[in-house]
Structure 1
Amino acid sequence: MNINHNLLPINLEKNRILGPKAYIAMWWGDAIMVGSFMLGSSMIPPFGELNLYQAFTALILANILAALLFSLNGRVGWKHGIPMVIQLRSSFGPIGAKFPSLLRAVPALFWYGVQSWLGAQAIDQIFLNLTGFSNVWLWFFAFQLLQIYLSAKGIKSIKWVEIFGAIIIMLGVMYLIFLFLSTFGLQVEETASIDGTWGIPFWLGMTVLLGQFSALFINVSDYTRYFPRKSTNKTFVGSHVIGIVPPMILLPFVGILGAAAVGMWNPVDIMSEYISNVFASILVLFVIALAQVTTNLVANITPTVFVAMDIFKFSWAKSCVIIGILSIFTCPWWIMNAAYFTSFITIVSAFLGPIFAVMIADYYVIHKGDYNVSRLYEADLFAAFKGWNPAALIAILIGTLCSFINMDLSWFMGIIPAGVIYISLMKLWIKNHEAYVYEGMGQHQKVVPYLKKKEQA
């Protein structure tokens, strides 16, 4: 099978360039998403039903769980050095893997455009404040050119942008929290004194907080494959906890403060209406603009580029250019305010929980935590099913139908059914079916059941 070299396993330690500190910085840069402000505000009045303490508890619990789930699926990339598109072949087949890959890549492409537009708006507002000049289209195309250039330079470029961006962004967010507390302290204190609830709204809040990572849970191996293999398990899990929990508490906390103080989640709107401090406004706008770059590089560009390299056989640089151009044609200035875009994202998200369940079940239950990596690069995998694994497709379809029972809990609703069905079908059907692969050459060639073939390190 013709494979792009960027998709091959990263086995040499010198090429695993995201050490614990750099890996944590990458997550700090990626986790700074404008939507996190909205998620935080959705939990307390006037948007939600929790008090300040309950909202903060939900933030801590949800993000610790998220860090553990990242570690769980990310172990594949850490151990074997393979990206998501290769990992999916074990459970979906070399052809079937393209389906979940596209479910991860297409929404990321749209978010790439949306976040670029948000970044351009922030830059435009900065120049409007400083010079009176305004042209959001100019900054949008400039923003895209910058991101295409940075991503095309490769993972090393992304690494340093994330490290630099994480430091600036985290300092800016802490300043924003200080500014809000010093300005709206009394109003925030009132939110802490309401009764709130530890019932269904609390658990729904946790579900929403966890659901924002649903896409990243699937392609976390795209990043862990660069994590040093010599690191201990404690370091690996700890890097996820430190990388996820602090920023994903601070960002929603900003939204909580805004909702508690003035009933608004967007810090830019709050700054413009309630805080007449030009320096503070420019700083916040710069942090938001920078956050769009760091988030796009990790969460939206990287997985989409890997999918483009796998399906269309493009090089890394060419994929970055094409993806950057395509994100412009998603028309973010239009779709970000369209109701059907939210519906589209919601429908796609319903598939993500079941896909995650299948990936986890395949690695830990079917393959006992150890892939025969060389087999994942061979075209005859699941040859009897023409490169598809029907067990995975059936599992995610049924899991997705379960997700639609309650869209507020969709990510959780589909996980258990999908995982149980996948394991059952693999053990009762696929394992005993003539899912043969070829071994040997010429007249010595013979067929061996794929799942019974001796695994090699």
Structure 2
Amino acid sequence: MQKRNNLIKKDNIPIAFAGRNVGLLGYSFVWVGIAVIIATFALGGDGVQDMKLGWVLLACLLANIVLGAFISITGDIGIEHGINFPVYMRAPFGVIGSYIPMLIRAVLGAFWFGIQTYFGALAINYIFMNFFGFDNWLFWYIVFTIAQVINTAFGFKAIERFSSIAAPCIIIISVWMYFRLEGVASAAGNNVWNTVLGSESSGFVWNTFIILFFVNMAFWSTAASDSQNLTRYVKTQQFEKSWFKRNKNTLLGHLVALPLTQSAMIVIGGVAMIAVNNWNPVEAIQSTASGIILIVLLVMVVFAQWSTNAASNLLTPATVFAEVFPKIGYVGGVILTAIVGSVIQPWALMEVLTDFLNVMSSVYSAIVGILFSDYYLLRKRRLNIPELYKKNGQFAYAHGWNLAGIISLILGMAVASVFSSYAFLVGFVVSFIAYYFLAKKWWFIKYKQAEIEENYPDRLLGVTNGTDWVLNEEQNAIVPSFNRNRTTLDKKGIGSSITPHHIEDV
């Protein structure tokens, strides 16, 4: 009997082309849900202290478009090969070294889960306190946690279904919220687009603009490193060489849904600050609405926290914990994430949110720089997938460690922490350059990589080459499965996908 390979688990096996069932609209709704978080409102509230709301909005919009591009670039790993974040990390860090970036991601994801669940619990508690006299936010925190854990435990499709319900509600209620708060500000004689609360400046402060830009990028720098966890479920085309066509079902979510939703939340936070001197919509809503309207608005707050947590702050850490602690599995990983996020009580750190975001950004920007360098420049999108699942294979390196990746991560984080206001940019550039030269000139000379040594063969592509990566239970290994159909060409030579009919192991 062959010895069990604990690098292979049912939750980390590549998702085959035929198994990807999330479409463009469903994926975009997921991103609408992800982008609505209470902490975002704080950025708008802080921004209008020094600048007019229009400049605050522009800083946020530009930052999230740039970040959306990063998310799309790294998301191609999931589209092309169907693998998740923990599995890919074995390439730039090694099968053992990958635990470092993975655990960092898991703990920070749990941190955000705790914050989001806390704000959702406050909203639920206010509803029951106001209408039924029951006041116990901790009780509702536990109930809300259990509900989110159950939803996320059913997998990404369940998350998508919930987001499809939550996202339209969030959009409609957010629009109403804006006009309600804008009306309150106008009644007090304040034009929300011309008011600067903390100064008599012309309404634009370069330093504030830049800080807001990079802090906004820090919010979703996590997704820029691990977007494969989501994109691997998205429908795509086989044999499609165009990067844009292959990733078209994710681009609307990354480049439109995320920037517009995040920007809308920033605006609402700024308007709330101008209207009632409080960026927190849970508290702002309580002072501007009553009755059934208040209930509806607070339910929106709950939906917002739930949709973000399920797709971003539970799913990814759960996959990581399941990778590090194989016996607990994905469901156990979801539960462990919720426990960690609750025990550390992250809501106590809201007063230092901006500083925390800069630290977080230095970590993830360094990972993104390494990932970009490894996947696009050094391997040219080819990846020896079967070796990622072998303890003593190509990615074992030196006792499981890729020192080029570890050194680059430390360098990127260290330099970014010095230039904390520009953490994402600095961390990305430093780690990107460091990893490229350390790997190319040193590590990959010592530890040969098939992608490079074989001059980037198409057999190491995924959907572009019609290749799925599947589990062969007899061999206890991941092996390629090849679809022998090819795309048809129209008169302009543009490929159209064909649903696979005949797939066989090779």
The question of a shared fold, defined as TM-score above 0.5 by the shorter chain, is answered with yes
What's 1:372 paired with? 384
Matched, 1:200 2:207: yes
**Aligned-pair distance for 1:80?**
0.7
1:305/1:323 contact within 8 Å kept: yes
Residue type matched to 1:327 in 2? G
**Aligned-pair distance for 1:90?**
1.1
Following the alignment from structure 1 to structure 2, what is the Cα–Cα distance between the partners of residues 258 and 157? Answer: 33
Aligned residue among 386, 409, 412 for 2:425 = 412
Alignment of 1:90-129 (within 5 A): 90-129=91-130
Following the alignment from structure 2 to structure 1, what is the Cα–Cα distance between the partners of residues 351 and 202? Answer: 35
Q: Alignment length, in residue pairs?
A: 438
1:29/1:295 contact within 8 Å kept: yes
Following the alignment from structure 2 to structure 1, what is the Cα–Cα distance between the partners of residues 218 and 337? Answer: 25
Change (3 A) 1:383 1:304: closer
Residue type matched to 1:93 in 2? G
1:52/1:191 contact within 8 Å kept: yes
Deviations 1:199-252 (CA, angstroms, capped at 9, x unpaired): 232222111111111112111100000111226444432332222122111111
- TM-score by length of structure 1 reads 0.90
Aligned residue among 236, 244, 265 for 1:229 = 236
Residue type matched to 1:357 in 2? G
Alignment of 1:204-283 (within 5 A): 204-230=211-237, 232-273=246-287, 275-283=288-296
Following the alignment from structure 1 to structure 2, what is the Cα–Cα distance between the partners of residues 166 and 370? Answer: 36
Identity of aligned pairs, percent?
Answer: 26
What's 1:71 paired with? 72
Deviations 1:343-380 (CA, angstroms, capped at 9, x unpaired): 66654442211111000110110001222222222222
Residue type matched to 1:38 in 2? A
Unpaired stretches in structure 1, ≥5 consecutive residues? 437-447
Structure 1 or 2: larger helix share?
1
Change (3 A) 1:114 1:57: closer
**Aligned-pair distance for 1:278?**
3.2
**Aligned-pair distance for 1:154?**
1.9
Following the alignment from structure 1 to structure 2, what is the Cα–Cα distance between the partners of residues 72 and 6? Answer: 23
Moved more, 153-162 or 381-390: 381-390
Change (3 A) 1:383 1:157: closer
**Aligned-pair distance for 1:149?**
1.2
Q: Secondary structure at the match of 1:228?
A: coil
Alignment of 1:43-442 (within 5 A): 43-45=47-49, 49-185=50-186, 186-187=189-190, 188-191=192-195, 195-197=202-204, 199-230=206-237, 232-273=246-287, 275-313=288-326, 314-332=328-346, 335-336=348-349, 346-380=358-392, 381-433=394-446, 435=447
Change (3 A) 1:151 1:235: closer
Q: Secondary structure at the match of 2:47?
A: coil
Change (3 A) 1:343 1:204: closer
Following the alignment from structure 2 to structure 1, what is the Cα–Cα distance between the partners of residues 434 and 114? Answer: 36
- TM-score by length of structure 2 reads 0.81
Moved more, 154-163 or 195-204: 195-204
Following the alignment from structure 2 to structure 1, what is the Cα–Cα distance between the partners of residues 207 and 346? Answer: 34
Following the alignment from structure 1 to structure 2, what is the Cα–Cα distance between the partners of residues 219 and 384? Answer: 23
Change (3 A) 1:356 1:131: same
- RMSD across aligned C-alpha pairs, in angstroms? 2.2
Following the alignment from structure 1 to structure 2, what is the Cα–Cα distance between the partners of residues 276 and 228? Answer: 42
**Aligned-pair distance for 1:163?**
1.1
2:71/2:254 contact within 8 Å kept: yes
Residue type matched to 1:266 in 2? N
